Structure 1
Amino acid sequence: MKRIYDNIVTKHLSEDQQMIFLAGPRQVGKTTISKNSAVLTDNFCYLNWDNQDHRRILIAGPESISKYVLQDKIQNTLPILVCDELHKYPKWKILLKGLYDTYKEQFHIIVTGSARLNIFKRGGDSLMGRYFPYRIHPLSIAECLTQALPSREIQQPQAINQDLLQNLLNFGGFPEPLLKQSPQFTLRWQKLRQEQLLREDIRDLSRVQEINQIEILAELIKEQSGQLMSYSNLSQKVGVSVGTISRWLEILNSFYYCFKIKPWSKHVSRSLLRNPKYYLWDWSIVKDPGSKAENFVASHLLKAVHFWTDYGLGDYDLYFVRDKEKREVDFLVTQNSQPWFLVEVKSSQNRSLNSALAAFQAQTGAKHAFQVVFDMPDINEDCFQHTTPIIVPVQSLLAQLI
């Protein structure tokens, strides 16, 4: 299946020398994307840390790796080396620094990881300037419609099959269950993926032993997706300290189980300052329909801000807005630290326009304010031509993103 990230890799390898870092959740397609680059060279090499034979080559160091790649032969095209799951090696950053500094003129390097590849940035990043990161997300409405690289953030309106929205909602955006569209397979896949994430990845890499309690925390996050998160309440339910809850949430973030959205407070009177919200990378496992719909939109917006930032269009981020009078808008997208557009999520077009949209648009100066709904037919119209609060079909807005 063609992904927009395949085109990102192709463009990078044709223009840039830096290493490519592909980071994202387990089974989102990182390995497939990296292997698809084999068509760009006569000499493609793949080393997976989980393969014992490959591991011996990696541990032996840069010279051993270069001999494996170059084979003492003249190369017609620049070879491509993929290092898969290399973050599991404690000295991976030192290895890559030496490998890149010595052989950057002789072959391209792609690194993949299902834990955040910037997780070890404490004390400075020894790889600074040597790589460009690309955060790989599940499939979205826009990516299912086109994999062409955009020239700007917002795309032209596209016709959408209503089945696409329902399939993404029901099966999620991870390639395998979405392509199979089998409820039985999806349930088995979800269960196996969560077991591997919690009982293999997190246990082995984070050295956390209390996996049963982390599973309880993961279940609570799923149940409270999109709600204001109280660390003290979670600590009471899980039976550990607030500090431990905070640390475990960071671990779950780092392994792409969930992501955190903070409140926006600048120029918002009596704004909420502290409590964040959490959403899941796999929205399909959220049970409550309203929470799933909100998580679905959150995931699409996060994918957009990550892509726009990684692609070099600017600096983008995602927040929510809430004040102490409990007025709230679900999401605020910022562009270069300035409010850009607000998004409120509702299930039905029969719900009146949230008055907080106009209030927070006035306070923040956001250019656009949308209330997206799930029961409205697609419209062939540019949602971003409107600068006052407006109700739009969720699929129409999201199709204009990434």
Structure 2
Amino acid sequence: MDRIYTSLVKHHLADYRQMAFIAGPRQVGKTTCSKIIAATSSVHAYLNWDHPAQRKLIIQGADRVAEYCNLMSITKIKPIVVFDEIHKYRKWKLFLKGFFDVYEDRSHVIVTGSTKLDIYRRGGDSLMGRYFLYRMHPLSVAELLTTALRKKEIVAPQAISRHQLNRLITFGGFPEPYTKADPHFSKNWQRLRKQQLLKEDIRELSQVQDISSLEFLMDILIEESGCQLNVANIANHLNVAESTVHRWVKTLQSFYFCYSIKPWFKNIRRAIRKMPKIYLWDWSIITDQGRLNENFVASHLLKAVHYWTDTGLGDYDLYYLRDKEKREVDFFIIKNKKPWMLIEVKKSHHNGISKNLYYYQKELHVPYAFQVAIDMDYIPLDCFSYHKPIIVPAITFLSQLV
């Protein structure tokens, strides 16, 4: 399956000297993407830490890997070298620093990982200035329509069928279950992914010992997707300290099971300041339809925010709004530290528009305020041509993102 990230990393290799880091969840398509890119070069090498012989090569050091990758002789084009899951190596940063510093001018380097490569600390020296990070997300409405690189944040709307939208909502955006669209396969795939996450990734690479309690926490987070994270209540349920819950949630975030969206409180009177809301990378495992719809839109917004930031279009962040009078808006996007967009998610377009959109748009001087309706049919109009709060079809609005 063609992905926008394939085009993105190809562009990176053509224009930049830095290593390209591709980070994202298990089975989101990182390995496939990197192999497709590597195969575009007549000289390339792929090394996976999970492969015993290739792991041995990496442990032997940068020069041995360079010899294996044919970097010791002159070639007309730079070979592409892919290091897959190398973050599992205790000295991975030190290895990459040494390899890049010596062989930067002889190779293009792609590094993939299913933990957060920008924050994951396993010793070694800093890689600052030696890589650009690209955060890979599941499929989205816009990516199903086109995998062309985005030169600007917002594009013209494009039509996608209601069948395709429902398929994406139901089976999620991970390529294999989406492509197969088979409920039985999807359930088995979800179960296997959870087992691999717990018993292979987290057990091997984190300090968590109580895997059964961590699995219970995962079930709680699935049920409470889109809710504020009440650490005290969860700690009571699990019979552990609040600090343990904080640590476990952070671990689940670093392995791409879930992500958090913090409240924005600047320039808001009596704003909620501390409690983040939790969402899942795989929205298809959520059983409550309302929570699933909100998570579906949240994941599209996070993907857009990450893409815009990673490609240098600006600095973007995703928040939610809530004050002590319980005035809440689901999502709030900041662009270059300034308010940019309000998004409220509703299943139906028959309800009136939320008064909170009007309130916060006035309070924070936000250019755009959308109430996104899941059930509304596609309309071929640019949602971003409106600057007052307005109800828009999710199928149109999401097609204009990434």
By the TM > 0.5 criterion, same fold? yes
Matched residue, 1:35: 35
1:378 aligned onto 2:387: no
1:150 aligned partner: 150
Letter in 2 for 1:209: Q
Separation of aligned partners in 2, 1:342 and 1:123: 40
Mapped partners of 2:66, 2:140: distance in 1: 38
Distance 1:360 1:26 in 2: 37
Distance change in 2, residues 1:306/1:99 (3 Å): same
Distance 1:206 1:121 in 2: 11
Which amino acid in 2 is paired with 1:3?
Answer: R
Aligned to 1:267: 267
2:184 counterpart residue number: 184
Contact 1:271 1:323 in 2 (8 A): yes
Q: Match of 2:226?
A: 226
- Counterpart-to-counterpart distance in 1, 2:72 and 2:378: 57
Find the aligned partners of 1:37 and 1:98 in 2 and give their Cα distance: 23
Q: Where does residue 48 of structure 2 map in the other structure?
A: 48
| 8 Å contact kept, 1:319–1:331 | yes
Q: How does 1:1-400 map onto structure 2 within 5 Å?
A: 1-70=1-70, 72-120=72-120, 126-400=126-400
**CA distances 1:39-94 after superposition (whole Å, capped 9, x unpaired):** 33111100000000000100001100100111644312110000000000010000
Distance 1:61 1:160 in 2: 49
Q: Is the 2:90–2:122 contact (alpha carbons within 8 Å) kept by the matching residues of 1?
A: no
Measured after TM superposition, the shift of residue 125 of structure 1 is 6.6
Q: What are structure 1's unaligned runs of at least 5 residues?
A: none
**Amino acid aligned to 1:60:** Q
User: Following TM superposition, by how much is the alpha carbon of 1:207 offset from its aligned partner in structure 2, in angstroms?
Assistant: 2.8
CA–CA distance in structure 2, aligned partners of residues 192 and 120 of structure 1? 24
Determine helix, strand or coil for the equivalent of 2:69: helix
Counterpart of 1:373, as a letter, is A
CA contact (8 A) 1:253 1:259 kept: yes
Q: How many angstroms apart in 2 are the aligned matches of 1:134 and 1:251?
A: 20
Instruction: Check conservation: 2:97, 2:125, Cα contact below 8 A.
Output: no
In 1: Cα distance, 2:380 partner to 2:238 partner: 48
Q: Percent identity?
A: 52
Q: CA deviation at 1:6?
A: 0.5
> Is contact 2:93–2:123 with CA below 8 Å preserved after alignment?
no
Tell me the SS of whatever aligns to 1:320.
strand
Q: Report the Cα offset of residue 177 of structure 1.
A: 0.4
Supply the distance in 1 between the matched residues of 2:227 and 2:308 (Cα, whole angstroms): 26
Contact 1:263/1:322, CA 8 A, preserved across alignment: yes
Report the CA distance between 1:127 and its aligned residue. 0.3
After superposition, what is the alpha-carbon deviation per residue over 1:99-142, rounded to whole angstroms, capped at 9, x for unaligned? Answer: 00000000111100001112335999710000000000000000
Separation in 2, partners of 1:245, 1:296:
25
- Count of aligned residue pairs for this structure pair: 402
SS in 1 for 2:184: helix
- What amino acid sits opposite 2:163 in the alignment? D
SS of 1:21 mapped into structure 2:
strand
Structure-1 separation of matches of 2:387 and 2:40? 44
Task: Tell me the SS of whatever aligns to 2:106.
Answer: coil
Note the alpha carbon deviations across 1:173-202, whole angstroms, 9 max, x for none: 000000001011000000100110011100
Contact 1:83 1:110 (8 Å CA) reproduced: yes
What's the Cα RMSD here? 1.2
Distance 1:48 1:240 in 2: 37
**CA distance in structure 1 between the aligned counterparts of 2:223 and 2:68, rounded to whole angstroms:** 48
For 1:45 and 1:162, locate their aligned partners in 2 and report how far apart those are by CA, in whole Å: 42
- Alpha-carbon displacement from aligned partner over 1:307-365 (angstroms, at most 9, x marks no partner): 00000000001000001011100000110111100000010111111100000111111
Counterpart amino acid of residue 119 in structure 1: I
Per-residue CA deviation, residues 131-168 of structure 1 (Å, 9 max, x unaligned), is: 00000000000000000001100011111211111000
In structure 1, how many angstroms separate the alpha carbons of the residues matched to 2:254 and 2:197? 11
**C-alpha separation in 2, matches of 1:248 and 1:201:** 14
Deviates more, 1:72-81 or 1:372-381: 72-81
Question: How far apart are residue 273 of structure 1 and its match?
Answer: 0.6
Separation (CA, whole Å) in 1 of partners of 2:183 and 2:298 = 23
Paired residue type of 2:62: P
In 2, the alpha carbon distance for the partners of 1:12 and 1:55 equals 26
Report which stretch shifted further, 235-244 or 68-77: 68-77
Is the Cα contact below 8 Å between 1:42 and 1:76 reproduced in 2?
no
Residue identity opposite 1:193 in structure 2: R
